[in-house]
Amino acid sequence: MTDPATDPRFAALPAVPGKVIAVHLAYESRAAQRGRRPAAPSYFLKPTSSIAPSGAEVERPTGTELLAFEGEVALIIGAPARHVSAADAWRHVGWVTASNDWGLYDLRANDKGSNLRNKGRDGYTPLGPGLIDARAVDPAGLRVRTWRNGEPVQDDSTAPDRMIFPLAQLIADLSQHLTLEVGDVILTGTPAGSSVAVPGDVIEVEVDAPDAPGALTSGRLVSRVVEGTGDFDPSLGSLPSVDDLQREEAWGSREAAGLPEPTPILTDALRAKLLEAPVAGLSQQLRQRGIRSVFLDGPRSNTPGAKLVGTAKTLRFVPLREDLFTAHGGGYNAQKRAFDSVEPGEVIVIEARGDAASGTLGDILALRAQARGAAGIVTDGGVRDYAQVAGFDIPVFSRGPHPAVLGRRHVPWEQDVTIACGGATVQPGDIIVGDDDGVIVIPPSLAEEVADACLAQEAEDAWIASQVAAGHPVDGLFPMNAEWRARYEAETGSGGAG
């Protein structure tokens, strides 16, 4: 058995941990940076062999590029915890110290969420150097700071407005699933500011309790980054690889990673074209290109004359089951999260299975979407507060009014997934267009081509209409034969709608 008194890896700890548990996302600042805010905490395990003392070297394998530091508050269990309440949880914590939850993002995608290889490497969980007695501090009064080469890069606290999940909640939640034993370590997540380190960098992390008497501190946990071996054998497993998403998340932003901002598919110019193009004409152009299943059957504009153009942000409801509604329908559920996170120019598209016997949103949520700059809302269910919503400055398409709340027919289940709305498949990022004829979904890769062709066809149809109005018969004119086509092109200078 490993003796912490003789093994330098565990010199700062009261015992060799049986397990190291890390929280994926717990700080408001980190959630804002990542663009996602979890409804409940989630965790992963790190092996005890990854533990290292202050001053230890951290290896970035040769051929990799994204070794990221994450300064964190580490909790060390002092008394076994099993099925403890949040109110009682803190007394099971014996000590607090600093940690650095190192991760090699080159292996992150292949780990598929387990984080075993990218965060479980030897030396990737340094702890220490000193311990703070948990009884002497307020769990909401801790501070974590990180320095890279002497420059401050992270500074946050465990105050209620700074954390998504209080420290006591993390302990209580874990204890309902497994026994937390004396010496176990919980890494409580990192705030914004985590970024990439390169060989030669020195990263320091300190946890303290600035408002507690006695200037309680862990001292600075020091890690020195060095170049390590990178002789990965492709015959044994997947190799390190990176893409721009991993670069952005490892560095903390596209700007920090040196990446250009992505060009949006729905540009202002394309949006203007789609606002001018009628849904009927767009659907015709899609059909000519072999895309027929684009109609969201059922939703109609709550306000006649409204035009809707935007990219899809999806929300899925499942049929009511009372136990599932109890678990998923209350609190900060998927419906509220979707309306709170919709971005300007997005359309919230709701799958309600065509069941309009309950409202899928009401005036408060519609106002929230409007305030966040959403381009509109589409639901194949009902809408509560129908008259009020129809008067708002946001296009809403639905199957009509219904006064009942969700719990009559629906359970809000998940967001940002592929859904079926009005019998059509809608994916996040698809382009949604609606007018008085209804709503369609356009594959982003075809949007520019379809919009241009539709507007050209509209111009052609307008010319044909003018000829009909002048007394010409439709035979040979609609559609145009060669003679009429030549006349059209000569008068308009057009090469046709194509």
Tokens 């990192």 appear where? 190
Cα 219 to Cα 497: distance, rounded to the nearest angstrom: 72
Q: Does position 497 have pLDDT exceeding 60, yes or no?
A: no
Q: Is 365 marked within a binding site?
A: yes
Cα 160 to Cα 208: distance, rounded to the nearest angstrom: 17
Cα 371 to Cα 365: distance, rounded to the nearest angstrom: 10
Q: Is 91 marked within a binding site?
A: no
Q: Is 94 marked within a binding site?
A: no
pLDDT in tens, 109-143: 888 888 999 999 999 999 999 999 999 999 999 99
Neighbouring residues of 169: CB distance < 8 A, sequence distance ≥ 6: 41, 86, 89
| Tokens linked to 277 | 């193009």
Cα 407 to Cα 384: distance, rounded to the nearest angstrom: 13
Burial 371-398 (b: 16+ CB within 10 A, else e): ebebbbbbbbbbbbbbeebbebebbbbb
pLDDT score of 275: 96
| Tokens linked to 94 | 């014996």
| Strands of 125-133's sheet in order across | 43-46, 20-23, 185-187, 71-77, 93-100, 125-133, 51-52
Q: Is 291 marked within a binding site?
A: no
Q: Tell me the pLDDT of the chain averaged across its residues.
A: 94
Beta bridge partners of 414: 316
- The 10 Å Cβ neighbour count of residue 95 is 21
pLDDT score of 1: 52
Cα 78 to Cα 184: distance, rounded to the nearest angstrom: 8
pLDDT in tens, 453-494: 999 999 888 999 999 999 999 998 888 999 998 999 888 887
CB 475 within 8 A of CB 481: no
Cα 348 to Cα 78: distance, rounded to the nearest angstrom: 47
Q: Is 364 marked within a binding site?
A: yes
Closest of 415, 279, 301 to residue 348, by C-alpha: 415
- The 10 Å Cβ neighbour count of residue 498 is 11
Q: Grade residue 265 by pLDDT with cuts at 50, 70 and 90.
A: confident
Q: Grade residue 5 by pLDDT with cuts at 50, 70 and 90.
A: low
Beta bridge partners of 344: none
Give the distance between the most distant pair of CA atoms in the chain.
Answer: 102
CB 140 within 8 A of CB 159: yes
pLDDT score of 2: 61
Taken in order of first residue, the domains within the chain and their CATH numbers are 8-251 (3.90.850.10), 266-291+445-498 (no CATH), 297-442 (3.50.30.40)
pLDDT score of 153: 97
What does DSSP assign to residue 406? Answer: G
CB 376 within 8 A of CB 349: no
pLDDT in tens, 283-340: 999 999 999 999 999 999 999 999 999 999 999 999 999 999 998 888 889 999 999 9
Cα 112 to Cα 185: distance, rounded to the nearest angstrom: 23
Q: Does position 145 have pLDDT exceeding 50, yes or no?
A: yes
Q: Does position 22 have pLDDT exceeding 90, yes or no?
A: yes
Element of type H or E holding 483: helix 482-492
Cα 428 to Cα 414: distance, rounded to the nearest angstrom: 12
Distances in whole angstroms, Cα of residue 484 to Cα of each of 181, 285, 457, 490: 86, 22, 15, 10
Cα 37 to Cα 64: distance, rounded to the nearest angstrom: 29
| Tokens linked to 205 | 């992390």
Q: Is 393 marked within a binding site?
A: no
What pTM was computed for the model?
0.68
